[in-house]
Amino acid sequence: MGTIVTAPIAFRAATAADVPALVELVTSAYRGEASRAGWTTEADILDGNRIVPEVLLEDIARPRSRILLAERDGGIVACAHVEARGDAGYFGMFAVRPALQGAGLGRAVLAEAERVARAEWGLPRMRMTVIDLREELIAWYERRGYRRTGETLPFPATDPRFGLPKRNDLRFAVLEKEL
């Protein structure tokens, strides 16, 4: 039996031409039956959109905002949004193709986002928001050095661009890591 060789991951910034592929990737990781192939699904707590093209285009155009694409063999396998917000980076819209989850892609994308915030933008910390019911996901971030700040934020339950809650107790926990 031969050794399986995995092609390296290449990172680049998304452009407007990538928006349709990004909507498909992010939706596949979080919504509907396809998302159940991975462990990041929100299908039991949210319906509808996870992201819409208009938001992606705004994120791509804004200064000190980047949608990172992770590519392997010419295809997009993961993404995340990183931007400067005051004196911290903000990490969000993190998605890995469901069938590829658990193989280290997420760790690589998170590390690249942290590198951008620290090395390119000179920011001392990264922040993010995670639905507080997602204990397994929060634990994953905690294993990578993130800590709950104790702050919570309301879920935008009336904004269909980000999903339609199936329950009324959703809120975000704020996590932070010193870079």
Report if residue 3 sits inside a domain: no
**Boundaries of domain holding 128:** 10-178
Residue 4 lies in a domain: no
pLDDT band of residue 38 (cuts 50, 70, 90) is low
Answer yes or no: is 59 within a domain.
yes
Rg (Cα) of the chain, in Å, rounded?
16
CATH number at residue 23: 3.40.630.30
Using DSSP, state whether 134 is helix, strand or coil. coil
In a domain, 5, yes or no: no
Asked whether residue 2 is assigned to any structural domain, the reply reads no
Kindly report, residue by residue over 145-156, the tens digit of the pLDDT: 999 999 999 887
In a domain, 1, yes or no: no
Q: What CA–CA distances, in Å, run from 161 to 48, 50, 54, 69, 156?
A: 8, 7, 9, 21, 9
- The 10s digit of each residue's pLDDT in 48-102 is 667 889 999 999 999 999 999 999 998 999 999 999 999 999 999 999 988 888 8
Domains of the chain: total: 1
pTM: 0.87
Neighbours of 172 (CB within 10 A): 17
